[in-house]
């Protein structure tokens, strides 16, 4: 491989290749290979273009999907929610006017933008990608450098196919060994965030490396990179390997025939070599990771399922206020076991964990059981492709006969911009990525993050459970 012996890591290699110039501010003007957009953060950006009489520079490198506000029950237009309908109309009109392909509800590839992009083969190693959504870090699973951006930057990328950004440092996060049975990619990423903190990654891009990530399939890698942002990192990535190349073969946007072989060779040559330099390194032992559950109001406030919620005494002084605030909001006590916590709602979905392998794992747990009385349980596939595949495999029947609702593709209860919401003080076992106050639609609603299999186990038992006892 060309890069063997090179000290340059993937991040810096890709960054240099995409640098247009250094701006007077000292930031880099970085070329963006693919721009993904959705209905929530794009309308104001299109307006900025209109206000200045600008156009989209590379409409053919821009793809739109609708996901955040999509109802998952009744998708007849106009939507019952007038504001959601207005946003739909806006993205339809904007995409038409600026010549951008839109994965609308009638498109078999519509779905959460971070599920649909990779499925289509748009996300490839060695490219840069941006999207007006913080979980754009998901695409890093392919060794793609992917940034979540704000609306002003969406306008920047529209007009110039570049963005202004300061160069982050690169930290290698190594997880060695093997995850034990019943421990998933979600647990690994929650564990890393727990150990490094929600601001541990500020100023860094994360390179995830080591046996645990090497062994993962692409969907698991996406789960890990997805939550880089929860750890404060600007982006996260995993070096491309044969798993990456195999995934990309025969996708709609993948190169075909001999071009694919040339592509594969180039992709693999992007990877950090064994002598690559990093600004920082941390290491964890995968064998020590347990099924992990959050108990608080940020994603680092988590414990292993058999551990207790921490006591104030075990917390550093400057974090104690935060701990008390979280306990008060959650109505939990210090030293309370997390296992056995009663739940009201179970949500399997979101760009973290709504792919086919997630649904397969959850279905394995649900099969032959029934959702506990008084628990409302939802399965929301991440895309229409996932939905179709799941139905082909009969997973929807397993879920439905276990008492789960089977819904149409979208973001749904991950942030509840559509009708799927928590009510009042409900507690939700959720496979999503954020447990912030009010995140799931009720200002006082409570979220416990965990893997999809753990959500299924909680749904069946009505309480937070150790999924390993059900496998």
Please tell me whether residue 129 binds another protein under the rule CB under 8 A: no
Please tell me whether residue 301 binds ligand SF4 under the rule CB under 6 A: no
Query: CB of residue 78 vs another protein: minimum separation in angstroms?
Result: 14
- SS3 for 276-311 is CCCCEEEEEEHHHCCCEEECCCCCCCEEECCCECCC
Q: Which does 351 bind (CB under 5 to 8 A by kind): another protein, ligand SF4, none?
A: ligand SF4
Angstrom distance (rounded) from CA 396 to CA 78: 27
Please tell me whether residue 40 binds another protein under the rule CB under 8 A: yes
Angstrom distance (rounded) from CA 409 to CA 73: 10
Q: Which one of residues 34, 41, 109, 133 is an interface residue with ligand SF4 (CB under 6 A)?
A: 133
Which position has the token pair 């008390």? 324
Cβ atoms of 238 and 225 within 8 Å: the answer is yes
| Closest alpha carbon to 341 in 379, 299, 308, 365 | 308
For ligand SF4, the closer CB: 122 or 271: 122
Region near ligand SF4 per CB under 6 A, out of 51-59, 172-180, 411-419, 461-469: 411-419
Q: Which one of residues 13, 35, 135, 355 is an interface residue with ligand SF4 (CB under 6 A)?
A: 135
Cβ atoms of 12 and 39 within 8 Å: the answer is no
Query: CB of residue 410 vs ligand SF4: minimum separation in angstroms?
Result: 8
Please tell me whether residue 75 binds another protein under the rule CB under 8 A: no
Q: Which one of residues 5, 7, 152, 246 is an interface residue with another protein (CB under 8 A)?
A: 152
Residues 90-129 that bind ligand SF4 (CB under 6 A): 112, 114
Region near another protein per CB under 8 A, out of 4-12, 215-223, 253-261, 307-315: 253-261
Cβ atoms of 211 and 96 within 8 Å: the answer is no
Q: Which one of residues 32, 56, 61, 67 is an interface residue with ligand SF4 (CB under 6 A)?
A: 67
Q: Which one of residues 161, 272, 353, 461 is an interface residue with another protein (CB under 8 A)?
A: 161
Residues 262-321 that bind another protein (CB under 8 A): 262-263, 266, 298, 318-319, 321
C-alpha dist (Å) from residue 62 to 129, 210, 255, 333: 10, 33, 17, 48
| Closest alpha carbon to 121 in 303, 292, 271, 244 | 244
Residues 391-420 that bind another protein (CB under 8 A): 415-417
Q: For the chain, first and last CA: distance in Å?
A: 41
Angstrom distance (rounded) from CA 151 to CA 138: 19
Cβ atoms of 440 and 430 within 8 Å: the answer is yes
Region near another protein per CB under 8 A, out of 100-108, 153-161, 271-279, 423-431: 153-161
Using the CB atoms, write b or e for 385-408: b if 16+ within 10 Å. Answer: bbbebbeeeebbebbeebbbebbb
Residue span 321-360 as binding mask against another protein, x where in contact by CB under 8 A, dash where not = xx--x-----------------------------------
Region near another protein per CB under 8 A, out of 16-24, 105-113, 390-398, 402-410: 16-24
Q: Which one of residues 350, 383, 431, 461 is an interface residue with ligand SF4 (CB under 6 A)?
A: 350
| Closest alpha carbon to 140 in 23, 297, 11 | 11
What residues line the site for ligand SF4 (CB under 6 A)?
A: 67-68, 112, 114, 133, 135, 350-351, 411, 414-415, 432-433
């Amino acid at each position: 491989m060309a890069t063997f012996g090179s000290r340059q890591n993937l991040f810096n290699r890709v960054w240099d290749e995409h640098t247009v110039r250094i701006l007077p501010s000292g930031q880099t003007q970085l070329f963006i290979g693919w721009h993904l957009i959705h209905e929530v953060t794009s309308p104001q950006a299109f307006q900025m273009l209109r206000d200045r009489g600008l156009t989209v520079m590379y409409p053919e490198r821009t793809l739109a999907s609708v996901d955040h506000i999509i109802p998952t029950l009744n998708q007849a237009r106009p939507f019952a929610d007038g504001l959601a309908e207005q946003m739909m109309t806006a993205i339809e009109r904007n995409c038409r006017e600026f010549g951008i392909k839109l994965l609308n509800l009638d498109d078999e590839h519509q779905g959460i933008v971070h599920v649909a992009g990779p499925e289509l083969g748009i996300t490839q190693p060695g490219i840069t990608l941006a999207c007006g959504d913080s979980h754009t870090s998901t695409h890093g699973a392919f060794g793609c450098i992917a940034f979540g951006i704000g609306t002003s930057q969406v306008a920047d990328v529209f007009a110039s196919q570049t963005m202004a950004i300061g160069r982050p440092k690169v930290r290698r996060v190594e997880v060695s060994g093997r995850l034990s049975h019943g421990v998933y990619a979600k647990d690994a990423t929650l564990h890393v965030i727990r150990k490094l903190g929600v601001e541990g990654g500020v100023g860094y891009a994360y390179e995830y490396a080591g046996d645990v990530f090497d062994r993962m399939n692409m969907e698991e890698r996406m789960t890990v990179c997805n939550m880089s942002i929860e750890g404060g990192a600007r982006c996260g990535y995993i070096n491309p390997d044969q798993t990456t190349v195999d995934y990309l073969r025969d996708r709609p946007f993948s190169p075909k025939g001999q071009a694919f072989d040339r592509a594969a060779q180039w992709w693999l040559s992007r990877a950090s070599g064994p002598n690559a330099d990093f600004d920082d390194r941390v290491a964890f032992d995968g064998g020590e990771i347990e099924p992990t559950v959050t108990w608080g109001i940020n994603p680092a406030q988590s414990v292993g399922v058999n551990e207790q919620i921490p006591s104030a005494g075990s917390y550093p002084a400057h974090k104690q206020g935060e701990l008390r605030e979280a306990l008060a909001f959650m109505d939990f006590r210090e030293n309370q076991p997390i296992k056995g916590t009663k739940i009201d709602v179970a949500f399997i979905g979101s760009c973290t964990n709504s792919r086919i392998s997630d649904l397969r794992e959850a279905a394995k747990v649900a099969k032959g059981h029934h959702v506990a009385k008084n628990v409302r349980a939802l399965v929301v596939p991440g895309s229409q492709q996932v939905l179709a595949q799941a139905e082909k495999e009969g997973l929807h029947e397993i879920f439905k006969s276990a008492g789960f609702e089977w819904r149409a593709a979208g973001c749904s209860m991950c942030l509840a911009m559509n009708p799927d919401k928590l009510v009042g003080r409900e507690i939700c076992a959720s496979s999503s990525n954020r447990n912030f106050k009010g995140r799931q639609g009720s200002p006082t609603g409570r979220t416990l993050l965990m893997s999809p299999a753990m959500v299924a186990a909680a749904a069946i038992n009505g309480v937070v459970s150790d999924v390993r006892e059900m496998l």
